[in-house]
Chain A
Amino acid sequence: MKHSVLVATALMVALIGVANAGTISGKVSGVAGESVVYVDAIAGKTFPSPTQQPVMDQKGLMFQPHILAVQQGTTVEFLNSDSVAHNVFWISIGGNKKLGHNLGTWPKGEKRPFKFDNPGAVPLLCNVHPEMSGYVVVSPTPYYAVSNKSGDYKVESVPDGSYTVTAWHEGAKSQSKPVTVSGDTKADFTLSK
């Protein structure tokens, strides 16, 4: 009996939460290609690390996907699908060069995991194929989205409230703005280099 009450209470809380969740959508303009839009850190609030481990592949001398957005605390699996030797390294996370790291070398078909505990953009490089470029964008919250190539994005399941929302693009300065979410909310960004 006690167990049933707990389950029912949890369901109600969840339903209330969903009922109060909205979306942030809009367009990132001024740049071409994909952008990442995410809700910045929320004071006093923490989020459990996701258990899902997305894959960043190296295939055909390219990072695939080119941009991977993850929540802070996510472990990303770096896969080498090529029959040539690759390497993955980054010189900074969010511009902090102290967080630079080199994952080394591993053969075709194998993965190497890395847990991203710090938020910010991670520019991925390969030291034998200098043209290879990829990004992991680590969002401090679970509220993030990768836009389509036209810049349209939609961040879902954002609880109503006031936040700072940041738009990131690999070739432009990031832009942050306050956004008050109440149901479906619009927020457009115009980025410049």
Chain B
Amino acid sequence: MRLHQDISAFFAVLIISLLLSANGYAIPAFSRQYGTSCNTCHVNFPKLNDFGKAFKDAGFKFPKDDETFIKIPPVMMGAPAQKELWPHTIFPGTIPGLPPIGLRFNTFFQVVGRHRNNFNAQLPGDPTAPFIPRTDFQTGLLSIFMAGNFGSDIAFWVDDDLSVGGSGADGGLGDGYMKFVNVGRFLKMPTDALSLRVGQFELDLPFSPARSWNLSGWDIYDQPNVGAMNSFFARQENVNNAFALSNAAQGVEFSGGHTYRGYHYSLAIVNQNTGGTPGAGNNVPPTVTYTSDSNFKDIYGRFSYRFNLERDPASRKEIQGAGASGPRDHTYLNLGALYFYGRSVQRFQGQDTSGTPTVLTAREPFYRVGGDFSFNYRTFNLFGQFIYGRDQNLLPVLPVGFVLPSGFINGSPAHFSGGFLEADYLVLPWVMAIMRWDQVKSTADFLNGVGSNPDDSIGAFVSPFHATRNRFTPGIQFLIHANIKAAFEYQIRPQQIVYDPATGAALTSPFRTNSAVVGLDWVY
């Protein structure tokens, strides 16, 4: 039963994220402040062009002569001449002349293939039934976001999804951080060699899930590592790590370089991931429920190098390439690598060596390592990511005569791998065609799907037929205006199968629950 709850929770999150993702942000506040179109920074919002990347790198301001572009003067928090008096006065700064607030809303319509009927074992309206309607309208998110620069190269960002089911529905926050850009100047370091970010933020991933332009997220970034724990099989893993790379992290991040040319690095020290799922909390009785353990700090690092490939050496160093008919994104090849190291916590009711009841804590080391590339030629962008994940598998030890475990021993690690490959082609400045291939390989996910009950939870909607799940997602997006987008994608989903929960025998032939999703997205 617990197996089903865990899997259900995981897949419920997965399904919801698939339906309601695309939680990226374009920033109308910047449009107002600078009197410029979204397209100054975005190819197809929220996908950034080279100038947008430079704007973000610089701390949400124009990389050069920012003040000459601002149409709404900032409010001075002290005369510039006050700088001369420091430290005998507060160092002067600014705040944006208009509240830098933007809103985003999106709405979706989904059509699911006929194979959804394999899960429709109960009637509509039953709260426990995994009833999947043929067609469905869904509101997505209503996000509020604020960003800007306080002067002195101090940038800020706050976003929150106010909608029910959004990140803020339970009082939580999306991202909220301050970034101190180019603090390396105080240490006589090269320009932009060191910046500092503090708060809650998305990890510096090569391709931002939080600012994805796709209707559905990249699967590998949402992949947790839940070990095999299906009683039908001998393979048992004591891993229940809900961490996914798309999770927001709390901590500090040191970064440097640029994302539009040359090197870029980041090193983040963030709160330890805990078990995270309700299932982890249920490992101990309610009287000793632990849901957080932040004693250990996880580490995330990324390094990338971007080769701008124009023939003209001077052009390669500019923010944008200089084409014969106007500025455009560089022709480039970006190569990168990432590494995350953390510890996943599980707590169990156990006994110490004298037999006294106690709470046992398994802190399972895990890492994620990956490589990525992005190649851009004019309006064609091909990029991909590969991730390998490995969790140490600490198995409970039950000494002779004990009824509860007294410790842990190392078992075979639980691992997964996968990634994605995506091609974006800007057919016209307002039309982008997309082809994407997602793959996740997890034997544990496959084993856990065998025998999951299609009637008891939405989780059974995803019961993989293979250890490798492939999803192909062609799509097309249209900018109706620079701030309004219509998007369509067709998801050719992984093969699935429904098993008898009692025996594990297959009840259906392998099938795919393909779906078509249309979304309308606007920011203002």
Residues of A within 8 A of B (CB): 59-62, 82-87, 89, 102, 104-105, 126-131
Query: Does B51 lie within 8 Å of A60, measured CB to CB?
Result: no
Give complex CA distance A128, B40 in Å: 6
* Contact residues in B for A104 (Cβ distance below 8 Å): 322-326
Sampled A-B contacts (7; CB under 8 Å):
A61-B69, A84-B62, A89-B325, A104-B324, A105-B326, A128-B51, A129-B37
Report the minimum CB–CB distance from B72 to chain A (whole Å): 12
Query: Does A83 lie within 8 Å of B64, measured CB to CB?
Result: yes
Determine if B35 is an interface residue (Cβ-Cβ < 8 Å): yes
List 17 extra interface pairs beyond A86-B327, A128-B326, A129-B39, CB under 8 A. A61-B35, A82-B65, A83-B64, A83-B68, A84-B319, A85-B320, A85-B327, A89-B325, A89-B326, A102-B325, A104-B322, A104-B325, A105-B326, A127-B325, A130-B482, A131-B36, A131-B37
Report the minimum CB–CB distance from B108 to chain A (whole Å): 28
Determine if B109 is an interface residue (Cβ-Cβ < 8 Å): no
Give complex CA distance A59, B328 in Å: 19
Query: Does B482 lie within 8 Å of A102, measured CB to CB?
Result: no
* Contact residues in B for A128 (Cβ distance below 8 Å): 39-40, 51, 320, 326-328
Query: Does A61 lie within 8 Å of B319, measured CB to CB?
Result: no
Determine the residue in chain B with the shortest Cβ distance to A125. Answer: B326
Q: Interface digits, B13-40 against A, CB 8 Å rule (1 contact, 0 not)?
A: 0000000000000000000001111011
Determine if B136 is an interface residue (Cβ-Cβ < 8 Å): no
Report the minimum CB–CB distance from A42 to chain B (whole Å): 37
Give residues of chain B (31-66) contacting chain A, Cβ–Cβ below 8 Å. Answer: 34-37, 39-40, 51, 62-65
Q: From the candidates B34, B35, B62, name the one contacting A83 in the complex (CB within 8 A).
A: B62
Residues of B within 8 A of A (CB): 34-37, 39-40, 51, 62-65, 68-69, 71, 318-320, 322-328, 482
Give complex CA distance A131, B318 in Å: 22
* Contact residues in B for A87 (Cβ distance below 8 Å): 325-327
Q: From the candidates B65, B68, B319, B482, name the one contacting A85 in the complex (CB within 8 A).
A: B319
Report the minimum CB–CB distance from B40 to chain A (whole Å): 6
Report the 3 A-B pairs with minimum CB-CB distance, sorted nearest first. Answer: A87-B326, A85-B327, A83-B64
State the main secondary structure of chain A at its contact with B: loop
Query: Does A61 lie within 8 Å of B34, measured CB to CB?
Result: yes
Query: Does A129 lie within 8 Å of B40, measured CB to CB?
Result: yes
Give complex CA distance A110, B180 in Å: 34
Query: Does A127 lie within 8 Å of B326, measured CB to CB?
Result: yes
Report the minimum CB–CB distance from A19 to chain B (whole Å): 49
Report the minimum CB–CB distance from A156 to chain B (whole Å): 35
Report the minimum CB–CB distance from B1 to chain A (whole Å): 57
Give complex CA distance A62, B324 in Å: 21
* Contact residues in A for B318 (Cβ distance below 8 Å): 85
Q: From the candidates B68, B71, B323, B326, name the one contacting A82 in the complex (CB within 8 A).
A: B68
* Given A84-B51, A130-B482, CB of A105 within 8 Å of CB of B37: no
Give complex CA distance A89, B39 in Å: 17
Query: Does A130 lie within 8 Å of B37, measured CB to CB?
Result: yes
Q: From the candidates A83, A102, A131, name the one contacting B65 in the complex (CB within 8 A).
A: A83
* Contact residues in B for A59 (Cβ distance below 8 Å): 68
Give complex CA distance A89, B64 in Å: 24
Tell me which of B40, B320, B323, B326 has the highest count of chain A C-beta atoms within 10 A of its own C-beta: B326
* Given A85-B319, A131-B37, CB of A60 within 8 Å of CB of B68: yes
* Given A60-B69, A84-B51, CB of A105 within 8 Å of CB of B327: yes
Give complex CA distance A130, B40 in Å: 8
Report the minimum CB–CB distance from B84 to chain A (whole Å): 27
Report the minimum CB–CB distance from A80 to chain B (whole Å): 11
Report the minimum CB–CB distance from A109 to chain B (whole Å): 12
Give complex CA distance A66, B446 in Å: 64
Tell me which of B34, B40, B482 has the highest count of chain A C-beta atoms within 10 A of its own C-beta: B40
Give complex CA distance A82, B318 in Å: 14
* Contact residues in A for B326 (Cβ distance below 8 Å): 85, 87, 89, 102, 104-105, 126-128
Give complex CA distance A62, B68 in Å: 11
* Contact residues in B for A60 (Cβ distance below 8 Å): 68-69, 71
Report the minimum CB–CB distance from A63 to chain B (whole Å): 13
Report the minimum CB–CB distance from A59 to chain B (whole Å): 8
Query: Does B322 lie within 8 Å of A130, measured CB to CB?
Result: no
Give complex CA distance A137, B69 in Å: 26
Report the minimum CB–CB distance from B51 to chain A (whole Å): 7
* Contact residues in A for B34 (Cβ distance below 8 Å): 61
Give complex CA distance A128, B328 in Å: 7
* Contact residues in A for B327 (Cβ distance below 8 Å): 85-87, 105, 127-128
Tell me which of A84, A85, A102, A127 has the highest count of chain B C-beta atoms within 10 A of its own C-beta: A84
Report the minimum CB–CB distance from A84 to chain B (whole Å): 7
* Contact residues in B for A83 (Cβ distance below 8 Å): 62-65, 68
Report the minimum CB–CB distance from B385 to chain A (whole Å): 28
Report the minimum CB–CB distance from A21 to chain B (whole Å): 42
Query: Does A85 lie within 8 Å of B37, measured CB to CB?
Result: no
Give complex CA distance A45, B376 in Å: 55
Determine the residue in chain B with the shortest Cβ distance to A102. Answer: B325
Report the minimum CB–CB distance from A82 to chain B (whole Å): 7
Determine the residue in chain B with the shortest Cβ distance to A130. Answer: B37
Report the minimum CB–CB distance from B256 to chain A (whole Å): 22
Report the minimum CB–CB distance from A175 to chain B (whole Å): 31
* Contact residues in A for B40 (Cβ distance below 8 Å): 61, 128-129
Tell me which of A59, A126, A129 has the highest count of chain B C-beta atoms within 10 A of its own C-beta: A129
* Contact residues in A for B37 (Cβ distance below 8 Å): 129-131
Give complex CA distance A128, B37 in Å: 9
Determine the residue in chain A with the shortest Cβ distance to B55. Answer: A84
Give complex CA distance A87, B320 in Å: 12
Report the minimum CB–CB distance from B28 to chain A (whole Å): 13
Give complex CA distance A33, B71 in Å: 20
Query: Does A105 lie within 8 Å of B323, measured CB to CB?
Result: yes
Give complex CA distance A184, B36 in Å: 43
